[in-house]
Structure 1
Amino acid sequence: MDTILFSDTVGGIMVERIKREASFNMVSKHFHNEYEIYYLVSGERFYFIEKQTYDVKKGSLVIIDRNQIHKTVGTNTTHHDRILMLITEEALEPIFQLYDNIDMRSFFTKNSGVIELNEAGQHYVEELLFGIIREMKEKHTSYEFVTKAKLAELLIFATRCKNGENATLKSETIQTEKYKKINEIAEYITQNYQYNISLADISEDFYISKCYLSRIFKEITGFTVNEYINIIRIKKAQQLLENTDYSITQIAGLVGYDSITYFEKVFKKYTEISPLKYRKKLMKLKQIG
């Protein structure tokens, strides 16, 4: 049974707290343009990020960069209580400008991953998160400003955690044979996305049946093998669109597509915008910045 304790969106910041008493596996394919902060109030979850799976326990803070692949699934612990924040680039811009001297713009890129907080760290983070929820609930004068101020404080705290204050950065991943195999395959796809690789090729290279590979890959990552290949390619294409002057046709070839028409179709499927419009949008944002 799911209990939605809170859900609201203010100025590009969505906050949701849900308590679940039964086993739950995220079914939606998580790959989005918002930044994400996830805090586990209680319980335990397996959390797949990019190409690794982590055992996330109570009091863990998870930082997800824009367009990072991620998914949570249940463990033997059936219940969990979590707070989720999705934050747009526009919502963070005032924070980026205010704290520009400490390089907040690269915060999510540098700090993505799982942070295990000690008791003092958990208390501090929960005070901030519950304070944000309270501000969004009560909507007193300047509540949006206070919400963003508390978010900025949370980001600074997480930056300090990187230096070992009140926390441990979780580096070890789940090492059962099934999870190790999927981590290896995800790494293989990440390194070879530009080539013509298929489910059959991977199945043969890793000595695993196509049926079993398809089932466990979808179970752990939330994606089919082909979807994962396409997403890795599109993520690389986004980087090339932003950082190079290559034409759309050249980029399509560099990330593994023989057909520019198919490349544009897949790109739009995952980003809801064409490659050309994506590049123009980036150029416009750079001009504004």
Structure 2
Amino acid sequence: MNQIDLSMQTNNSTPINKKIILSANIQEKNNFYSFPKHIHQSIEIYYFIEGSCKMDIGKETVMSEAGNIIIILTNTVHSFYLDSNISCRFIHIHFDPYKLSSIFMDKEVFNIDLSSILSSINSYYKLVADENMISLLFLIIDEVNDSNQFSETLCTLHLTELLIYFMKKENISSLFSTSKSNGTSNYVFLAFEYIKQNYSEKILISDIANYLNISSRYLRKLFYEATNLTVLQYINIYRINKSIDLMATTDNSLTDISLSVGLGDIQHFSRLFKNIIGINPSKYKNMLIQH
């Protein structure tokens, strides 16, 4: 893999009209619906319009009722379930925090590092929505369902306004100021991309560091500051995410899935899966089949 010069990457921000919101819709569940524990790199927003549900988020059980917003941060194990047959209707949004953050990489123009601010929250945030937040959530849904050439841009702007309004409302605006440099952000973004492209193969921290033309020690420092995870923890979580996708979308055996996500040994895969998700992969796959 060729080394790269990060001095050439300082303007490597995401255009505002690129897809930041991965999915946004209104869903309705009932009759003791449940979705098993899972984990992902996106940030998830729920706004409950009617009814209620329970979520296991990390080690907590969180009750959500109509009018509540739940924001679930990246790399957080969580599940969703109803403990009655009463319907639960909610807005559900997934967005890529790293792409969103990269829009604001020019700190001479913006003094906001959204990823750093959001990652300061441990695993989730729960609040009562007000009229402004509800309006922005429905505007996002409207734009996602619109094919207009400005829809992606408006989605990003509405999402950004929602998050900034949330931070203002919850009095965490003091976190707007950040000491991280554009180069730091770029190194971490490019490390994400390297993992995305190479997760099915053996990855050493030195491989990523050599690709970025920095030391392994410096990479570890930057990566942990940006994600609150070690590089290895992130790689393992990424691979487990991919294995869950494969369980849900293919008939591949667990051995084949383990190999395809770069974990090789099925025993190592099973131990790692259980450590992260809380149950072994065979049980999880059976839950998906029954679901």
TM-score (norm 2): 0.50
Q: Alignment RMSD, CA only?
A: 3.6
Q: CA deviation at 1:62?
A: 0.9
Which digits, 9 at most, give the CA deviation of each residue in 1:98-152, with x for residues without a partner?
A: 67523312233224424231xxx43212211111111122222321111000000
1:103 alignment partner in structure 2: 113
Which digits, 9 at most, give the CA deviation of each residue in 1:62-115, with x for residues without a partner?
A: 111111011122134711111111112453234442675233122332244242
Checking the alignment, whether the CA contact within 8 Å between 1:12 and 1:90 is kept in structure 2 is no
Q: Percent identity?
A: 23
1:79 to 80, 87, 96: 87
Pair 1:139–1:60, CA change in 2 (3 A) = same
Secondary structure in structure 2 of the residue aligned to 1:97: coil
Unaligned runs of 5+ in 2: 1-17, 174-226, 235-262, 275-291
Aligned residue type for 1:104:
L
Q: Distance in 2 between matches of 1:98 and 1:58?
A: 38
Pair 1:34–1:264, CA change in 2 (3 A) = farther
Aligned residue type for 1:91:
K
1:140 alignment partner in structure 2: 148
1:128 alignment partner in structure 2: 136
Secondary structure in structure 1 of the residue aligned to 2:105: helix
Aligned ranges for residues 191-230 of structure 1 at < 5 Å? none
2:27 to 18, 40, 59: 18
Secondary structure in structure 1 of the residue aligned to 2:162: helix
Which digits, 9 at most, give the CA deviation of each residue in 1:195-218, with x for residues without a partner?
A: xxxxxxxxxxxxxxxxxxxxxxxx
1:50 paired to 2:41:
no
TM-score (norm 1): 0.50
Pair 1:260–1:75, CA change in 2 (3 A) = closer
Secondary structure in structure 2 of the residue aligned to 1:27: strand
Aligned ranges for residues 132-171 of structure 1 at < 5 Å? 132-163=140-171
Aligned residue type for 1:15:
A
Checking the alignment, whether the CA contact within 8 Å between 2:49 and 2:66 is kept in structure 1 is yes
1:241 alignment partner in structure 2: 232
Q: CA deviation at 1:238?
A: 5.4
1:115 alignment partner in structure 2: 126
2:47 alignment partner in structure 1: 39
Pair 1:110–1:164, CA change in 2 (3 A) = closer
Pair 1:150–1:74, CA change in 2 (3 A) = same
Q: Mean Cα displacement is larger for which, 71-80 or 149-158?
A: 71-80
Which digits, 9 at most, give the CA deviation of each residue in 1:224-260, with x for residues without a partner?
A: xxxxxxxxxxxx99525379xxxxxxxxxxxxxxx99
Q: Give the aligned length.
A: 173
Structure with bigger RCO (C-alpha 8 Å, 6+ apart): 2
Secondary structure in structure 1 of the residue aligned to 2:50: strand
Unaligned runs of 5+ in 1: 1-8, 166-235, 244-258, 271-289
Pair 1:108–1:267, CA change in 2 (3 A) = farther
1:69 alignment partner in structure 2: 77
Q: CA deviation at 1:158?
A: 1.8
